[in-house]
Amino acid sequence: MRSLRRLCTVLTTTLVALSAAVVPAVAAQAGPPPVYPAVGPGTHLLDHPAKLAGLGDPGWYEANIPFVDLPDKAIEDTYYYRWRTFKEALKYTGPEDGWIVSEFLGPVGYSAPGGGIDAAAGHHLYEGRWLRDPRYLDDYVDYWLRGSGAGPKPATDGLNENTTDWAHEYSFWAADAVLARASVDGRWDFAVDRLPELQRQWAAWAPQFDPLLGLYWQVPVWDAMEYTASSYQSPDPYHGGAGFRPTLNAYQYGDAQAIANLLRRRGAPGDRQLADSYDRDARGLQANQDRVLWDSGDAFYKHVMRDGNPARTKIADREEMGFVPWYFHMAPAGAAAAWAQLTDPAGFAAPFGPTTVERRSPWFMHDAAAGCCRWSGPSWPYATSQTLTALANLLTDYPPQPYVSTQDYYALLRGYALTQRKNGVPYVAEAHHPDEDRWLYDSRGHSEDYNHSTFDDLVLSGLLGIRPQQGDHVRLAPLVPPAWDHFAVENVPYHGRNLTVAWDRDGHVYRQGAGLSVWLDGKLVHRQAGLTAVDVPVRPGKAAAADHSVDDLANPARTGYPAASASSTWPADSPANAIDGQDFDLDVPSTRWTSYGSPNRDDWLAVNLGAATDVSDVRISFYDDGGGVRTPDSFALQYRAADGTWADLPGGQRDPATPVRGRPNRVVVQPAVRTDGLRVRPSRVDGGATGITAVQAWRAEDDRLRVRLQDDPPRLRPGQTAEITGSVRSAQPLTVRPALTLPRGWTAQPVGPAGDLRLTPGRDVPLRWRVTAPADTPVGTRAPVRLLVSTLDHGVPVRSTADLVGAEVVFDPADFATPVWDDDFTGDRLNDYRVGPRFGEPVPALSQADGALVASASRQSAAVLVAPVAAPAGDFAVVLEPRSFAGSAPEDSVLLGRAAGPDDLALAWYNHHFGTSGADVRAAGRDYGDDVTGGCCAAVEWSPGDRFAVVSDHRGGLTSWLGHQGRWQLLRTIPGGPVIGTGWSPAIGLRLTSGQLALERLTVVARGPA
């Protein structure tokens, strides 16, 4: 399945999804799947509702998490809180990528498509491996290995200029984490199936491997550790300090060993030899790290600068990352003396620690109060997680040593729990002061419930000692204090079974007998008197399975379709928040729509899908702040009919019967309704405000079918017809009914097979349609096209499976044949332009020579040139053909679009140095472009002869294009919309740091005949 990854144009037209016959389906569908997986047989030692008190949607926790009972309430409270933060971080991105685990509650500009950031992805997989529902991590792993997270990114300074794909933006222990997850759920087929991608992920770090040293180098900021003691000792404290570090080398060691393990498990011809090769690579990294990064005098792994350091001298400072090799069992037993620093007051010990650099370092807390984000001493949960995981490995899997003990693990974990507090309640942000009870880096609307670390995995695999194994057993090695007389962890989803472990010293707490007791699926399988480590056999069971379902309303990009609207919205909220793929009810950042302040007695929230789908399972989460916005007393759920009117969805069964806060309010529709829009009308008897944090329409698909539309986005010209192709394949003999649904007003004529089809297993059935877009469709429109294939049972549709693509309405100069302005820079027209400076920089020297406009500069300069013509009233295009670029950095750019002057403009830009394109929009002293939206950048490869164009349509939209060998590619939709003045003229711009930049031709043409 594919989502509309690039369906990002905000359409100002009312395009509504409608098929040839958009009416309620006449046949009943199979009942929808349960919301959450069944727990199955297990124990009932603990009071689960009491443990979940205060948490929204308790059904999710009951179905997914292991329940714990601990004598230490600080650790227990933090445990349940951190499952809440993990749930908040689950983000549904659409049918292509499905679920991801986000780092921030709100999006940030440097994330991959959909909002993923691989910096903490290893932490996310270690933490989430204990959930019962496999869909979240299945999708998330594939996001980084096969989906948008594995896709290309600009190699720029702000997004890591050393790599060209999102899965390598930051250091990432991918294969190790996939193996760790499989060691819990026992689904080895899933992990083994990802071997080719895991091997590619490992190999893609090769450009940062130094073959002479036998180690990888990394820049601290791309280790997710900026402003470190090592980077401060470089010319650039933020992006500098490239060096050989115990982080990426340990990650690559762990990944090599994990890949070797999975290869041996697969056992295909040649796999054993290939596994041996990965093991040799791992041993080489281990030996070279001990040789180069181990400081025998200080007994610690350290950073070694890559540049200007021919002797490969280690820096003097110990940094907390030196504990990372134990995370992967990479460090030898003889290196255990490093752990003496963890409890040393001059080392890393701190009341809210550990610190990220030793206290004796001159860089300790350097600039820490100057602003985010310093790794020069503050306590970072990211690093604390790694250190505690490494410490658990040392205490459990290594020979005894005199430097740290079980009590140290408990003390550090308890201190970590107490660090995660604010105003007396559980809270986690970015980084904490090591000596004061306050978060140092905790910006409002950004840092709340920061999902950048683990905690629950540390409780389960460390403190309570559930050590996942690859064989048919589990190792239990608790690291609890000797004084504890009880603890319990209940219904852990392990190898397809429910595992419960309870320690009750004298049997009075749980009343199941004295000692350590172990249950599998509710049956007692082991009991012992003490807490000594033990291996307990676990015969594999059947892991939780779930139907493949998609939410057809999700649009986390908040652009294009589906599009949300409302009758009234409080200014701080947005209808788009209700379909952003997340469901939580925090005030900061907000992910809700509310009608607070509305003059209406009743309000509505509507979702326009853009192309019809089958609606059968709608879930609505209502927002309730206990004050002005309350849970509605009732709500109507409506669909848009063929004639555009709204009608109540027929046949809906509600669970619960009346609206309830803190859980999804489910409406099951039988039979399913095929429609292009849904509308929720919540109401209160007193007429007060209501709110919605999520509205979803889940559609369970038939896993026996593969439904595909063509890979390339369909390209149509307004009023013209183009062919769209697709296919359907089945794993079993099935009868299906395909339908192509389109935006309202678009038409489709079947060319290939029509009507019901009988599928032969394993054979693709090609499908073809001729599709026409209305003549007034704006150029740059990206509209959804959905192929819906209904599985039939005795002629009755029982389930629909879909694929979705974005059809592009493309720019073609043949449709813009009316000349407005044409300058080939051979005449004397330069003085006709209104020229002004931009960005506070001087105007470069401008001249005409050899049929080109030439800009010359010896320092960074910028200019805007407004053409001496009025902008046409209708659609028009500004077309610019560069001849050559200056080759300067960082600026070597051209701009084009509309402007009234250098401070009132809407221009697309192309930077030749970085190969990127974005938007610069400013009106009335305010910026609206990429600096504000964070929407940069489109990757662009310009070649001599290529042209750029900006098309301005009659509804106020602006789109930018690259023309190469007669084909025009949409680059960006330029933000601005109503701020663009109607009197703004066609304009171009230049910006260069030095040298000469030459333009070949500027043309302005309007839509219509010549």
d(CA 880, CA 814): 16
Tell me phi and psi for residue 341, to 5 degrees: -70, -20
- Residue 9's pLDDT is 32
Least confident of 49-58, 229-238, 918-927, 991-1000: 918-927
- Residue 931's pLDDT is 65
Least confident of 9-13, 165-169, 364-368: 9-13
| pLDDT 10s digits, 846-876 | 999 999 999 999 999 999 999 999 999 889 9
- Residue 33's pLDDT is 77
Q: Which neighbouring-strand residues pair with 806?
A: 784
Classified as helix, coil or strand, 490 is: strand
Asked whether the predicted pLDDT for residue 195 surpasses 90, the reply is yes
Confidence class of residue 313 from pLDDT cuts 50, 70 and 90? very high
- Residue 31's pLDDT is 60
Confidence class of residue 1009 from pLDDT cuts 50, 70 and 90? confident
Section 98-124 average pLDDT: 94
Asked whether the predicted pLDDT for residue 55 surpasses 90, the reply is yes
- Residue 7's pLDDT is 34
Asked whether the predicted pLDDT for residue 757 surpasses 80, the reply is yes
Confidence class of residue 547 from pLDDT cuts 50, 70 and 90? confident
Asked whether the predicted pLDDT for residue 16 surpasses 50, the reply is no
- Residue 977's pLDDT is 66
Asked whether the predicted pLDDT for residue 24 surpasses 50, the reply is no
Classified as helix, coil or strand, 868 is: coil
- CA dihedral 547→552→553→558, nearest 10 degrees, is 110
d(CA 146, CA 123): 19
| pLDDT 10s digits, 694-729 | 999 999 999 999 999 998 889 999 999 999 999 999
Residue 271's contacts (CB-CB under 8 Å, 6 or more residues apart) are 263, 264
Classified as helix, coil or strand, 114 is: helix
- Residue 256's pLDDT is 98
Output the six-digit token pair for 853.
Answer: 């406009």
DSSP state, residue 978: G
* 120, 382 Cβ separation under 8 angstroms: yes
d(CA 629, CA 834): 53
* 723, 607 Cβ separation under 8 angstroms: no
Asked whether the predicted pLDDT for residue 17 surpasses 80, the reply is no
Asked whether the predicted pLDDT for residue 6 surpasses 60, the reply is no
Q: Kindly report the average pLDDT of the chain as a whole number.
A: 93
* 321, 251 Cβ separation under 8 angstroms: no
- Residue 892's pLDDT is 97
Tell me phi and psi for residue 973, to 5 degrees: -95, 125
Asked whether the predicted pLDDT for residue 11 surpasses 70, the reply is no
Indicate the residue type of 705: L
- Residue 647's pLDDT is 96
Least confident of 151-160, 171-180, 401-410: 151-160
Share of the chain above pLDDT 70, in %: 96
Least confident of 180-194, 652-666, 965-979: 965-979
Q: Which is more confident, 526 or 156?
A: 526
Exposed e or buried b per residue across 692-728, where buried means at least 16 C-beta atoms within 10 angstroms of its C-beta: bbbbbbbbbbbebbbbbbbeebbbbbbeeebebbbbb
Section 325-330 average pLDDT: 98
Asked whether the predicted pLDDT for residue 764 surpasses 60, the reply is yes
- CA distances (Å), 1007 to each of 391, 811, 956, 960, in order? 68, 11, 15, 16
| pLDDT 10s digits, 894-945 | 999 999 988 899 999 999 999 999 999 998 888 887 766 666 778 899 999 9
Q: Is the dihedral of CA 353, 359, 361, 365 positive or negative?
A: positive
Most distant CA pair in the chain: distance in Å? 99
Output the six-digit token pair for 287.
Answer: 């030996």
Section 826-842 average pLDDT: 93
Which contacts of 75-80 are long-range, i.e. CB under 8 A and separated by 24 or more positions? 75/413, 75/414, 75/417, 75/459, 75/463, 77/417, 77/426, 78/417, 78/420, 78/426, 78/455, 79/455, 79/456, 79/459, 80/51, 80/52, 80/55
Section 581-604 average pLDDT: 93
- Residue 640's pLDDT is 97
The closest alpha carbon to 789, from 669, 672, 702, 710, belongs to 702
Q: Which neighbouring-strand residues pair with 950?
A: 878, 960
| pLDDT 10s digits, 466-496 | 999 999 999 999 999 999 999 999 999 999 9
- Residue 652's pLDDT is 85
Q: Which is more confident, 545 or 730?
A: 730
Confidence class of residue 106 from pLDDT cuts 50, 70 and 90? confident
- Residue 934's pLDDT is 61
Asked whether the predicted pLDDT for residue 12 surpasses 70, the reply is no
Asked whether the predicted pLDDT for residue 1 surpasses 60, the reply is no
Classified as helix, coil or strand, 508 is: coil
Q: Which is more confident, 523 or 16?
A: 523
Classified as helix, coil or strand, 379 is: strand
Burial class from Cβ neighbours inside 10 Å (0-12, 13-18, 19+) for residue 277 reads middle
d(CA 102, CA 106): 9
CA angle, 978 then 982 then 987, to 5°: 105
- Residue 644's pLDDT is 94
- Residue 351's pLDDT is 96
d(CA 291, CA 804): 53
Indicate the residue type of 929: G
* 540, 495 Cβ separation under 8 angstroms: yes
The closest alpha carbon to 490, from 130, 56, 125, 89, belongs to 130
Helix 248-266 × helix 195-203 angle, to 10°: 150
The closest alpha carbon to 619, from 569, 583, 671, belongs to 583
